[in-house]
Structure formats: C-alpha cells, structure tokens
C-alpha cells in the first residue's frame, strides 16, 4: 500500500516516523513551504520536511493545494491512501484522490474539540482527559466517520506542551493501528453524533491570551497552563507585557483588588483574582529572556 503523508509540525513527525520505521511505502510527503523566520529572515524548513529529507523521502511543498501542477504531481504518486496529521484543510480534489481515501489524526476525542487548537482548549476548559481520533476526511472539517480513538489522561498540572507530547506519542500508535486495519480491511467506521453541547477548539488569537483578573483563580490557572508554552497567557506589569509559563493558585479571599500584585521583592510575585491569588513561577518580561520568578525579582524593582 502506497501512502502519501501530509503534515508540518513536530506533532506530525512522530506519526511519519512510525509509518517509516514500520516499513510502509511512503510515496511522498506534502508539507508547508519554507518560510523566513528570525532576525535574519532565513528560510526555515518544517519539522516534517527536515525528517523527510533526512530519510530520503520525496517532498512536495505546494503554495496552493489546488495548483494544477501540484495536483498532477500528487496524482502521479499513485497513492492508495493519504494520511494527514496537523496540516491544512484539503480541497476535495486532493482528499478524494486515493482509492482507499484520506485519513486524519486529530488531537481530541471527536466529536468534541473540532478545530485548530484542541490541545489548548481541552486544558483551558479544565478537562481531566483528552485523546486522539482517526477518521476519514469529508467536506466539513473534523466531521468524518471515526475509525479509532484512544483516551489520554490529563494531570492537574499538565500544560498544553505536556499534553501535546502525550497525544503525539499516542497518536503515532493509533495511526499505525488505523493504517494496518485499512490495509487489511478490518475496521468499521462510526459516524460522529453531533449535539448542542459539543465543545469546540477554534484558533487562538492574541486577545484571548490576556488574563482577566476578575475571573476565578482556577479559570485563570487553567488558561495559563492551556496556553503554555505557546502562545502563552499574559498580563501587564509597569505598562509592559509579562508572559506566564507556569504558575500556582490558592483560593483565599484577597485583601487587594483583582489585578493587583503582592511581592516581597525577592522570592514571590502573585496577582489577585476574584477568589484568590495566582503565584508566578516561570515568566518572561517584555524585552527580557524567560526566567524563574526569583531571578526576575532580583533584577526588577517593584
């Protein structure tokens, strides 16, 4: 069975590696075009491209997925199955091409958390479990018939980065199971059942990341860990932005207004919320490098 793999970030590399190491015929790898990044604006390759080049796999980097030249080159690979992990939305002409269809690995237990940021939103909403799901692509995003799913527990102090790594490994294993079942014809698809109380995972924009200190401390704590290490929750201190990567919370009636901070100038810095305090541990002050709070306080007079 010839496979075309489509993906871009680190999350997708684990799945591509699982397919490659288990001897599947990877006819081609489709990934994002190189993009300028950093101060020098040097072209940066995606994590998937770096892996594919290292393994000698054929790489395609279309700017537009409907480009006739790309469509023709993709068709020439004669893939039986296309596998999508953390990639763009595909037009029908692409996902409908292979005889065995196109499958996607999604980082949630579908139908909940359809969308671009399922890992972040699961933690932001205080979930105690998430998971990975494989399904066949169809017109509406993340709505295709489910092939397999697997649950993954979320610890009370897990960040989005922690859950990302757990789901990445679980997803690679689930993808292998899925491809094997498709190859053998030993699976039964299950349609997703939609309901009014479905939880969604839309793309996260900067304004969403700003902390509202009038919220309960547990809500703020979940926001901080759900946005860590990227794109990161933030607040303002001395008219500058301070990103918060790690924090602790305590539920206690604060004696100062929400958003006010309390510090001894040496070991702790905490902000008042509606029903307690958020104590900063790992942070980055505007114009400075990321550091622990005691190092920050050592160089900052508040």
| pLDDT in the model for residue 39 | 73
- Whether residues 31 and 124 share a domain: the answer is yes
Q: How confident is the model at residue 194 (pLDDT cuts 50, 70, 90)?
A: confident
Give DSSP secondary structure letters for the chain: -EEEEEE-SHHHHHHHHHHHHTT-EEEEEE-PPPEEETTTTEEE--HHHHHHHHTT--EE--SSTT-HHHHHHHHHT--SEEEEES-PPPPHHHHT-STT-EEEEESSSTTTTBSS-HHHHHHHTT-SEEEEEEEE--SSTT-SPEEEEEEEE--TT--HHHHHHHHHHHHHHHHHHHHHHHHHT----B-----TT--B-PPP-GGGGB--TTS-HHHHHHHHHHTTTTT-EEEEETTEEEEEEEEEEEE---SS-TT-EEE-SSS-EEEE-SSEEEEEEEEEETTS-EEEHHHHHHT---
Mean pLDDT of 94-112: 97
Residues 214 and 294 in one domain: yes
pLDDT band at 141; cut points 50, 70, 90: confident
pTM: 0.95
β-strands 261-263, 240-251: how paired? Answer: unpaired
**Structural domain includes residue 191:** no
Residues 113 and 247 in one domain: no
Confidence check: pLDDT of 98 > 80? yes
Q: What pLDDT is recorded for position 173?
A: 98
CB atoms within 10 A of CB 19: 19
pLDDT at residue 134 greater than cutoff 80: yes
- What span, in angstroms and rounded, lies between the C-alpha atoms of 31 and 70? 12
Q: How does residue 215 score in pLDDT terms, banded at 50, 70 and 90? A: very high
Residues 104 and 155 in one domain: yes
pLDDT, tens only, 228-273: 999 999 999 999 999 999 999 999 999 999 999 999 999 999 999 9
In this prediction, residue 202 carries a pLDDT of 96
Question: What is the domain-level CATH number for residue 180?
Answer: 3.40.50.170
Grade residue 38 by pLDDT with cuts at 50, 70 and 90: confident
Residue 199 lies in a domain: no
Give the model's pLDDT for residue 301.
80
Residue 248: which domain range?
A: 206-298
Cα–Cα distance measured from residue 217 to residue 126, given in angstroms and rounded to the nearest whole number: 12
Q: pLDDT above 70 covers what percent of the chain?
A: 100
pLDDT at 112 over 80: yes
Looking at the fold, whether 174 and 49 belong to one and the same domain comes out as yes
* 29 and 103 co-located in one domain: yes
Same domain, 176 and 219: no
């Amino acid at each position: 069975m010839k496979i075309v793999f489509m993906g871009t970030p680190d999350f997708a590399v684990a799945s591509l590696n699982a397919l490659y190491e288990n001897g599947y015929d990877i006819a081609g790898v489709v990934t994002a075009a190189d993009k300028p990044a950093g101060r020098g604006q040097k072209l940066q390759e995606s994590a998937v491209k770096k892996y594919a080049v290292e393994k000698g796999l054929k790489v395609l980097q279309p700017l537009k997925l409907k480009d006739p030249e790309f469509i023709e080159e993709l068709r020439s690979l004669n893939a039986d199955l296309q596998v999508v992990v953390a990639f763009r939305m595909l037009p029908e002409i692409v996902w409908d091409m292979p005889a065995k269809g196109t499958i996607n690995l999604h980082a949630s237990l579908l139908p909940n958390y359809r969308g671009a940021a399922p890992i972040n939103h699961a933690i932001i909403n205080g979930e105690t479990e998430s998971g990975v799901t494989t399904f066949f692509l169809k017109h509406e995003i993340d709505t295709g018939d489910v092939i397999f799913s697997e649950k993954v527990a979320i610890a009370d102090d897990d960040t989005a980065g922690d859950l990302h790594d757990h789901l990445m490994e679980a997803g690679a294993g689930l993808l292998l199971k899925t491809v094997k079942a498709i190859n053998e014809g030993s699976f039964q698809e299950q349609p997703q059942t939609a309901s009014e109380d479905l939880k969604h995972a839309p793309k996260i924009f900067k304004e969403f990341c700003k902390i509202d200190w009038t919220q309960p401390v547990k809500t703020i704590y979940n926001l901080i860990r759900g946005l860590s290490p990227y794109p990161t929750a933030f607040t303002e201190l001395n008219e500058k932005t301070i990103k918060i990567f790690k924090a602790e919370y305590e539920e206690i009636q604060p004696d100062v207004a929400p958003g006010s901070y309390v510090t001894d100038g040496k070991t702790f810095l905490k902000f008042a919320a509606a029903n307690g305090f958020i104590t900063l541990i790992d942070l980055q002050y505007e114009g400075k490098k990321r550091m622990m709070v005691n190092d920050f306080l050592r160089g900052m007079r508040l």
